[in-house]
């Protein structure tokens, strides 16, 4: 039996019903989070829940639960569904109201749902590296909000999949922004560069962890945007996300990066990131070295 959270209650999945006029369904009028679970424990949950509240606040939704309440509900859900290695998905919408672009009455109850999923770590890809394509970033100008509206991201990802690639690296004109569901980094002469956390990208939690790791280990990381030209001439390219962790990119539009194999910096960051997971969630059973 699988359980989900609907508006603060843990119930059976097949009992959870959402009205056809929920604004999430009609307009994508809401925000979401994806949190990683290792050894039955959430990784960086505080950061994710804080971003959830912030994204919601940015579109005028006030979350009717405290961070502590949400965290405890999600912990119970993970336990009930017996998730050891997986993800928790959490979303809130502006609730149910007759279809109208303007916001409904301020007292309209929001709809919050959460569910879990068993998800392996992509250890094979982390070890071999993955291919990517380049595609124009056609999204809106508030990519910092983790909005349910993901059409631009979906179209980019589908283009990558159809080209037999793992990720689409998006660019606005000459400037590289981020992946369709990840942040992108380049390494040049020992320094890591990534787009500043402004309105053009999502400030990834994995990205933030990586910044912390680099600062602790005296690895140079600069938040500065870089061009397609710099991307194509980088020593190494990598992406980061909750589910993909630290993923080396070894081929872009058919051009090999670092001779088509993950570079030393990527491998080092993977190791340091794993150590961080193990501090919070305990020892990992599989490591990229094992598969």
Tokens coding 259: 């001779």
Among candidate residues 131, 146, 157, 267, the one labeled active-site is 146
Number of H helices, E strands in the chain: 8, 16
The answer to whether residue 146 is catalytic is yes
Contact 152, 205 (CB under 8 A): no
Residue 109 Cβ vs ligand PDD, minimum distance, rounded to whole Å? 25
Compare residues 178 and 274 and give the one whose CB is closer to ligand PDD.
178
| Out of 53, 167, 178, 236, the residue judged to bind ligand PDD by CB under 6 A | 178
Residue 37: CB partners within 8 Å, gap ≥ 6? Answer: 43, 78, 83, 84, 85, 86, 87, 88, 116
Tell the residue number behind the tokens 């929920």, with chain if given: 22
CB of 17 to ligand PDD, least distance (A): 24
Q: Return the number of the residue (3 or 32) whose C-beta is nearest ligand PDD.
A: 32
Q: Considering beta carbons, is residue 202 or 238 the nearer one to ligand PDD?
A: 202
Cβ–Cβ contacts within 10 Å for residue 138, how many?
12
Among 211, 242, 266, 270, binds ligand PDD (CB under 6 A): 242
Which phi and psi (to 5°) does residue 115 adopt? -145, 165
Q: Which is nearer to ligand PDD, 96 or 192 (CB)?
A: 192
Least separation in angstroms between CB 97 and ligand PDD: 26
Query: Could you give the residue numbers annotated as active site?
Result: 146
């Amino acid at each position: 039996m699988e359980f989900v959270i609907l508006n603060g209650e843990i119930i059976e999945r097949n009992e959870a019903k959402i009205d056809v006029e929920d604004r999430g369904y009609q307009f994508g009028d809401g925000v979401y989070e994806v949190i990683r679970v290792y050894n039955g424990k959430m990784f960086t949950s505080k950061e994710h829940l804080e971003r959830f509240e912030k994204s919601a606040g940015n579109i005028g939704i006030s979350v009717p639960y405290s961070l502590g309440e949400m965290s405890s509900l999600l912990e119970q859900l993970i336990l009930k569904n017996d998730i050891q290695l997986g993800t928790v998905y959490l979303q809130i919408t502006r609730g149910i109201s007759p279809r109208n672009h303007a916001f409904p009455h301020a007292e309209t109850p929001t709809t919050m749902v959460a569910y879990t999923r068993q998800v392996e770590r992509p250890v094979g890809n982390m070890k071999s590296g993955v291919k990517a394509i380049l595609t124009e970033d056609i999204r809106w100008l508030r990519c910092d909000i983790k909005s349910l509206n993901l059409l631009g991201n979906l179209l980019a990802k589908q283009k990558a999949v159809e080209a037999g690639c793992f990720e689409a690296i998006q660019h606005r004109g000459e400037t590289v922004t981020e992946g369709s569901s990840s942040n992108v980094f380049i390494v040049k002469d020992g320094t890591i560069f990534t787009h500043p956390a402004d309105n053009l990208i999502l400030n990834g939690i994995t990205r933030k962890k990586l910044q912390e790791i680099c600062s602790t280990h005296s690895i140079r990381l600069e938040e500065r945007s870089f061009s397609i030209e710099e991307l194509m001439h980088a020593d190494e390219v990598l992406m980061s996300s909750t589910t993909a962790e630290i993923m080396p990119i070894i081929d872009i539009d058919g051009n090999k990066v670092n001779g088509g194999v993950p570079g030393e910096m990527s491998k080092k960051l993977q190791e340091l990131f794993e150590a961080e997971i193990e501090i919070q969630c305990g020892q990992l059973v599989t490591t990229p070295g094992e598969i």
